[in-house]
A = this chain, B = another copy of it.
Amino acid sequence: MNITVIGAGVIGISWSALFLANGHTVTVYDVADDAPQRVRDGIAQCEPTLRSLGYDTTDMTARLTFCDDLDEAVREADVVQENGPERRDFKRRLWAQVEKAAKPTALLLSSSSGMTATSQSALMTDPGRMLIGHPFNPPHMIPLVEVVPGENTAPSAVDEAMRFYAALGKTPIRLRREIPGFAANRLQAALFKESVALVRAGMVTVEELDEIVVNSIGLRWATAGPFQSFHLGGGPSGFRGYLDHFATGVQLLWLHAATRPVVLTTRLKNRLVRQIDDSFGARPIQELEAERDAKQLAVRAALAPHPRSGDGDGDR
């Protein structure tokens, strides 16, 4: 498949690496002069992880090209994965131009977490093949892709997007409505709000908060989501039993949290940053990243006893 990646930031580079590892041909469009070098360096950084995930990465950059003319970049594309700046006017003009230059059969996907397909496609003549394919960072490592159609996206395009991401080894989930932040970022933001509230209240430091999460709900949710977890926490009567025992207490915690709005003031931000520096500042970010990647790989391997192997060319 010919895939055009628009925007060579962190997300675009990670997508490019994953597409190449799956045997696809990738054209990267980015107007920055240093884009080709950044992309090549970034893909080289992703490569060991992709190999550990079971992909054949031999010579994968032989199928990588660069193009700084948008029309030309998308002309042969079967799939476009857009990762440009989160500015409404930029995205609207971009899709209107892509639509004119690309094949009518091309699937048009945006990695945006902040702007809906309905909004992004406002200047298109036919927005039927444009929708959101929002990954979780980094896309070549974290399985989830949120597939979110706009009001005018054709159901067939949604199906195609689901198949496209599944064939890459991803876990695509189709959302039934457009809501700001979609689902995963909203869930993450909800936990982050309470995290900030607990640190602000002086109950724990940022480092202690992280320890709490990793050693309880992180381990729990890596293996079963919140609904199944509570279904199993309710005794023989399952989720109904959970609600019978705990709904009142949970409701009280929700009410209590609602009385304490969290505002990221300059002062609060500075306090959080100071604690982050105290806790993690002594170690270079790249070292922490390498440790995180190794751990995430280990968890993925532990939960998937039969990793992908030798199917790098399987869905060309």
Contacts and interface: CB of A to CB of B under 8 A. Distances in A.
Interface in A232-250: 232-233, 235-236, 238-240, 243, 247, 249-250
Contact of A210 (B10, B186, B227): B227
Given A183-B212, A276-B238, A249 B142 contact: no
A167 interface: no
A216 B299 contact: no
Number of copies of this chain in the oligomer?
A: 2
A49 interface: no
Interface in A35-55: none
Q: How large is the interface on A (under 10, 10 to 19, 20 to 34, 35 or more residues)?
A: 35 or more
Contacts of A209: 183, 225-227
A295 interface: yes
Interface stretch (A88-96, A120-128, A187-195): A187-195
Contacts of A137: 233
Contacts of A222: 214, 218-219, 221-222, 295, 299
Interface stretch (A102-110, A253-261, A306-314): A253-261
A20 to B, nearest CB: 22
A62 interface: no
Interface centre among A173, A184, A216, A295 (most CB of B within 10 A): A216
Interface in A170-194: 171, 173-177, 179-181, 183-194
Interface in A271-316: 272-273, 275-276, 279-281, 285, 288-289, 292, 295-296, 298-303
Contacts of A216: 136, 142-144, 184, 188
Contacts of A207: 227
